[in-house]
Amino acid sequence: MIKILVLVLLAAIVVSLFSGLFFLNRDQGGSGRMVRALTVRITLSVLLFLILLIAWWTGAIQPHGVFPR
């Protein structure tokens, strides 16, 4: 369930990023739509980080395979 939620959020972040790029090119950066799209992207990124942090704290996900030396 967590993996699906993470994938959906990552896809939404990418869509928001490209919509911001689209509005930047179409409106020449003078519109609030680009700012809104990038605000949505930042909000989704923070939400994704919080979900990953909570999932780690609750034990729903476990880190593996990467150990600093």
CB 62 within 8 A of CB 48: no
Classify residue 63: in a domain, yes or no: no
* CA R_g for the chain: 16
* 19-68 tens-digit pLDDT: 988 888 887 766 788 888 889 999 999 999 999 999 999 988 887 777 66
Structural domain span for residue 13: 2-57
Question: Which pair of structure tokens corresponds to residue 64?
Answer: 């593996």
Classify residue 17: in a domain, yes or no: yes
As for how many domains the chain has, the answer is 1
Say if pTM beats, i.e. exceeds, 0.85.
Answer: no
Q: What is the pLDDT of residue 68?
A: 66
Classify residue 65: in a domain, yes or no: no
Classify residue 64: in a domain, yes or no: no
CB 48 within 8 A of CB 54: no
Q: Exposed, middle or buried, 34 (CB in 10 Å: 0-12/13-18/19+)?
A: buried
Instruction: Name the DSSP class of 28.
Output: T
